[in-house]
Amino acid sequence: SENRGGEYWLRLGRQRTLMGADNAGAGIDRVEYREGDVTGAAASSAVDLPLADGHHQLGYRAVDRAGNKSDWRSLNVGVDRSPRVARLRRADPATPRRVIADVSDVLSGIDRVALQYRSAAEGDWRQLGEPVVTGQDGADATTVIADLPDRELPDGTYLLRVVATDRIGNRT
């Protein structure tokens, strides 16, 4: 998870671990949690939280084997398992070298976007222009524009791709 502005974000396929400690010596029996009307308990410290994408306020506490319960604590959690949406626009005949991509991520927000190209026959992906970095504010949507260096490229077929990374590290 990532702490962004006081809220912990869970990435794709991640599990939030709730842990407790018992200084009195009886040992931890379980960790209890609640989110809205949903409550649960786990006998281990790893809890697979049933949270949908979005923002949540999670309450949790530890219960030892003697039945003593800690105070409820809360944590703001954001879950973002949804993919970023990245689309290349069709080339405009008036500016055929121009590449335009529209990118969005309505949950955690876009952190950076890069346009890349390579020969269809072989080769490594190359950066096209400078990557756009939206930063910690994480815009929900952005547009990236760059021009292909067609005067420098050998004749052939080329592939284009958009690599979008959201604020918590999920990539297209």
Q: Which residues contact 23 (CB under 8 A, 6 or more apart)?
A: none
Give residue 132's pLDDT: 77
User: Hey, what are 40's tokens?
Assistant: 């649960």
Query: Which pLDDT score is estimated for 105?
Result: 87
Is-contact 138 110, C-beta < 8 A? yes
Beta strands in 22-135 (DSSP E): 28-35, 38-42, 54-64, 73-79, 85-88, 98-104, 110-119, 126-133
Identify the pLDDT of residue 115: 94
- Pairing relation of β-strands 158-166 and 126-133? unpaired
Residue 7, pLDDT score:
64
Looking at residue 135, its pLDDT comes to 53
Inter-CA distances, 172 with 82, 108, 139, 140, 149, Å? 10, 14, 16, 15, 24
- Judged by DSSP in three states, 125 sits in coil
For the chain, which residues score pLDDT lower than 70? 1-7, 10-22, 24, 44-48, 50, 133-139
What pLDDT does 126 receive?
Answer: 94
pLDDT at position 71 is 92
What is the spatial distance between Cα 133 and Cα 110, in angstroms, rounded to a whole number?
8
pLDDT of residue 162: 94
C-alpha triplet 134, 136, 141: angle, nearest 5° = 40
The rounded Cα 50 to chain-centroid distance in angstroms is 18
